[in-house]
Amino acid sequence: MTTTPVPHITITGVPGMPEIQPGDDLAGLLALAAPGLEDGDVLVVTSKIVSKAEGRVRAGDSRTAAIEEETARVVARRGETVIAQTRHGFVMAAAGVDASNTSPGTVLLLPEDPDRSAREIRRGLRTRLGVQVGVIVSDTFGRPWRHGLTDVAIGAAGVRPLDDFRGRSDPYGNPLSATVTALLDEIAGAAELAKGKLSGVPVAVVRGLGDLVTAEDGPGARVLVRPADEDMFRYGSADVVFARRTIREFSREAVDSGAVRRAVAAAIAAPAPHHTTPWRFVLLETAPARTALLDAMRDAWVEDLRSDGFSEESIARRVRRGDVLREAPYLVVPCMVMDGSHTYRDERRNASEREMFVVATGAGVQNLLVQLAVEGLGSAWVSSTMFCRDVVRKVLDLPDGWDPMGAVAVGHPAAPPRERPPRDPADFLVVR
C-alpha cells in the first residue's frame, strides 16, 4: 500500500481591512492588508466586501423587493423564508440578498459575476505584489437535510475547482466511480474558521495548497453549479407542480419502469370519496402490447368516424393526432373503478356519485403526471381510450368494471418544452 504525503496547511485571517465603500480598489486594499502573500497562497475573500466595492448595495427597507429582483426561480417557500435560484445558478436562502454586515436601511446583493471579481482581484494582486496566488470569493449557504451554514465558493480564479478521482483506486484497490471533490468549497469552508461571522475579518490566507494554484485563471466556480438535466433535486416545493408539461416528442431513450411505479405511488396518494381507491394503472411496457392496443383503437376510431360521415382525408388527419402515443416508448392507461361507491334510488345522485369518482381519478392522474416530471420523464395525457372503452378492455383483458380514462404517453423529452403562455390567476378567480 502506497501513501501520499500529507500537506501542511495553515489558514490565517487577515485583519486590518477598512470598511469597504462602493468604488474602492479592493485588490489594492488587500495588498496593503496582506503584503506577505506568497506564490501558491489562496486568498479567500468574503463576497460581502466584493459586493460593497462593486456597488452592489441597495438602499431601502424592502429586502423582499430585492429578493424578487435577484430571483430566477423560487425553489421553496415557508412563511417568509424563501429558497431561490439566482441568475448565477446558485440555490440559496433569499437569493443571496443579505441584510447583515451592512449599514441599517441597506441590503447587499451578490456580485454580478463572482468569477470575474475573483479574476480582477488576482490580477490586481499580481500587479502590486508580483505574486501568483489563487482567489476564492465565498458566501454562506445552507444545505438540504443538514442543520447549520457553511461557506462555499461562488467565484474563483487560479485555483483548480475539482479533483476527479473517478477511474482511480483507493489504497485497498477498490475502484472509485463517483468521487469528485469540490476543492473550492472545501477551501472556502476551511477559511471561514479563520474569518468568522462577527470578528470583522473578511479575508483569510490559505497556505500549503500551492499544487492547486494554476497559472491560468481557469473556469472559476461556475463549474460547480450542476446543470439542470443532471440535477436529481431540481424541483423544489414551490415549482414542482409547474414542472409538469405536456410532451409530444420523445427520444429513443428507454424509460425506467421503477420511475413509473414511483409515479403510480404518488398517484394513489390522491384524495378519493368514501375512503375508496378508485385508481388502476395498466402499464404497457412492451412494444407488442402497445402496438396491439393502438391498432385496435385506430380501427375502432376509423369505423366510428366513417359511420359519422367524415371524409377519408379528415379521418386520416384525425387519426394522426394519436401519433404521440405511437411514438412514446411507454404507455400508461389509467382506469377508474367504482368499488365502494354508493347506489341511490335517485339517478341524479347516482350521476353525482360517478362524477366524484371521475374527479378523484383525475386527481390521481395529475399526481402521476407531476411525479413523472420530477423523475425527469415527459408525458402527455390523451383522452383516446375513453372513446373505445370496450375495445381497450378486450385488448388488455381488463375486468368489465375498469373504466379506461385516456392514455398517458411517457418518455424522455426529445427537446425542451415550448414556453407556456403566462396565465394570471386573477383571471380564474371569483371572490364572494
Average pLDDT over residues 217-239: 84
pLDDT of 204 above 70: yes
> Tell me, what's the pLDDT at 125?
98
Nearest by Cα to 221 from 117, 372, 86, 95: 117
pLDDT band at 81 (very low <50, low <70, confident <90, very high): confident
> Tell me, what's the pLDDT at 4?
63
> Tell me, what's the pLDDT at 310?
87
Q: What is the DSSP string of 61-81?
A: S-HHHHHHHHEEEEEEEETTE
Quick check: 153 and 185 in contact, CB under 8 A? Answer: yes
Residues 145-202 have pLDDT tens digits of 889 999 999 999 999 999 887 777 777 778 777 678 999 999 999 999 999 776 789 9
271 or 376: which carries more pLDDT confidence? 271
Radius of gyration of the chain (CA): 30
pLDDT of 243 above 90: no
Residues 328-372 have pLDDT tens digits of 999 999 999 999 999 998 899 999 999 999 999 999 999 999 999
Using CA atoms, how far residue 269 sits from 275, 312, 367, 369, 371, in Å, is: 12, 44, 8, 13, 11
Q: Report the b/e string of 103-113 with b at 16+ CB within 10 A.
A: eeeebbbbbee
Residues 124-148 have pLDDT tens digits of 999 999 999 999 999 999 988 889 9
Query: Which 3 state secondary structure label does DSSP give 189?
Result: helix
Other residues' Cβ atoms within 10 Å of the Cβ of residue 331: 23
Instruction: Return mean pLDDT, the chain.
Output: 91
Nearest by Cα to 387 from 407, 369, 367: 407
Q: What's the burial of 283, exposed, middle or buried (CB within 10 Å: 0-12/13-18/19+)?
A: middle
Query: Which 3 state secondary structure label does DSSP give 41?
Result: coil
> Tell me, what's the pLDDT at 103?
84
> Tell me, what's the pLDDT at 314?
86
Average pLDDT over residues 283-306: 93
Average pLDDT over residues 198-214: 92
Q: For the chain, give the longest Cα–Cα distance.
A: 94
Rounded to whole angstroms, how far apart are CA atoms 197 and 161?
24
pLDDT of 102 above 90: no
Residues 1-57 have pLDDT tens digits of 455 677 799 999 999 899 999 999 999 999 999 999 999 999 999 999 999 999 999
Rounded to whole angstroms, how far apart are CA atoms 415 and 422?
20
Fill in the DSSP letter of residue 284: E
Domains of the chain and any CATH numbers: 10-228 (3.30.1330.100), 241-428 (3.40.109.10)
> Tell me, what's the pLDDT at 9?
95
> Tell me, what's the pLDDT at 1?
46
pLDDT band at 411 (very low <50, low <70, confident <90, very high): very high
> Tell me, what's the pLDDT at 61?
66
pLDDT of 391 above 50: yes
pLDDT of 315 above 90: no
The number of helix segments (H) and strand segments (E) in the chain equals 11, 17
Residue with cell 403510480: 264
Residue with cell 382506469: 335
The x, y and z cell numbers of residue 412, run together, are 424522455
Residue with cell 415549482: 239
With a pLDDT cut of 70, the percent of the chain lying above it is 97
